[in-house]
Amino acid sequence: MIISKFMNSKLFILPTILIIFITSIQTCHGQFEEQYYNCTSNYLYTCGQVAQNLTYPFWGGSRPQYCGHPAFELKCQDHDYPTFNIGNHEFRVLGINLSSYRISIARLDLWENYCTPDLSNITLSPSDLFRYNDMVRGLFIFYNCTPEMTRAFPNFTCNVDGRESDGFYTDLLLLGQEVEGLDWPANAMSCSQMIAVPVMRVALNELLNKTLALQDALKWGFEVQYDAKTADCLRCEGSGGICGSDSTGIEFICHCRDGTRRGTCQNSGHG
């Protein structure tokens, strides 16, 4: 009797374990299918006219992070244009070219007015995912300067919190030439603050030739090249997969119909 009860209990436990095992496999497989589906053409990123049907490495809105790279989150503003961050600085996206891996951006803090009390320099280090395009040049904007300095360069007047101050802008070459030609004491030539802003070379030339206003040159923006493991992504897509990242957002992942992998959908090992 006891043996019979024991056998009956084992017969009951074994099917239960088998059901749980099968259910867990189905759940895992269903999760992989969901990730693959959520990264397909049904969930490409779109925001206004600037960003249309963007794929990896971009994500944001209804497009999940695992469909892109964590550093390429786009935030749609008023259904009109996207913004994204490099470091702690926010940029307005002006255009994206997926085939040449280029993004055209402009500093959001200077978009409406370059006369702002919160000024900062933004630099891209070589180790970052982004680097300046070859057509980008440095525009130097000086604030709160002595009259002797502003007279030698294209200049402007700022009014911040009811206080007026003079400033000027130039490029590095012109700055060196003009300062050497100034015939004033060094202590008479000063500015309290300077920022370097990346701009396109054509915009800088027009600006210095006075055929383009300073605010318009800043709105012209500048281009950066981006690197998000594009070679891995091309191999993944070539195997029928969709590029993405793992749950940590660090490792590149190839989303396949039957699971996720570190390399391509033709690999046997799962990620």
**pLDDT tens by residue, 70-88:** 899 999 999 999 999 987 8
Q: Are 217 and 209 in contact, with CB atoms under 8 Å apart?
A: no
Same domain? 107 vs 195: yes
In angstroms, the CA 229 to CA 247 distance is 17
Name the pTM for this structure.
0.80
User: Does the CA dihedral 175-181-182-187 come out positive or negative?
Assistant: positive
**pLDDT tens by residue, 159-187:** 988 889 999 999 876 665 444 444 444 44
Confidence label for 189 from pLDDT (cuts 50, 70 and 90)? low
Same domain? 120 vs 239: no
Same domain? 103 vs 222: yes
Residue 268, SS3?
Answer: coil
First to last CA, the chain: 49
Confidence label for 12 from pLDDT (cuts 50, 70 and 90)? very low
Please count the structural domains in the chain.
2
The domain boundary, picked from 226, 241, 261, lies at: 226
**pLDDT tens by residue, 77-129:** 999 999 999 878 899 999 999 989 999 999 999 999 999 888 888 877 766 78
Residue 21 has pLDDT above 80, yes or no: no
Same domain? 108 vs 191: yes
Mean pLDDT check: name the lowest of 17-31, 111-125, 149-163, 236-250. Answer: 17-31
Q: Are 271 and 246 in contact, with CB atoms under 8 Å apart?
A: yes
Same domain? 69 vs 102: no
In angstroms, the CA 45 to CA 259 distance is 23
Same domain? 91 vs 222: yes
Closest-CA residue to 193 (of 154, 222, 158): 158
Same domain? 222 vs 121: yes
Confidence label for 251 from pLDDT (cuts 50, 70 and 90)? confident
Same domain? 197 vs 74: no
Res 28: pLDDT:
42
Same domain? 101 vs 212: yes
- Which residue range(s) make up the domain with 234? 1-86+229-271
Percentage, residues of the chain above pLDDT 90: 51
Residue 8 has pLDDT above 90, yes or no: no
**pLDDT tens by residue, 30-57:** 455 788 988 987 789 999 999 999 999 9
Res 122: pLDDT:
82
Res 133: pLDDT:
87
Same domain? 222 vs 173: yes
Same domain? 114 vs 197: yes
Res 187: pLDDT:
47
Res 20: pLDDT:
37
Same domain? 146 vs 132: yes
Tokens of 146: 């002595």
Average pLDDT, the chain: 82
Res 74: pLDDT:
97
Is the model more confident about 20 or about 182?
182
Res 15: pLDDT:
42
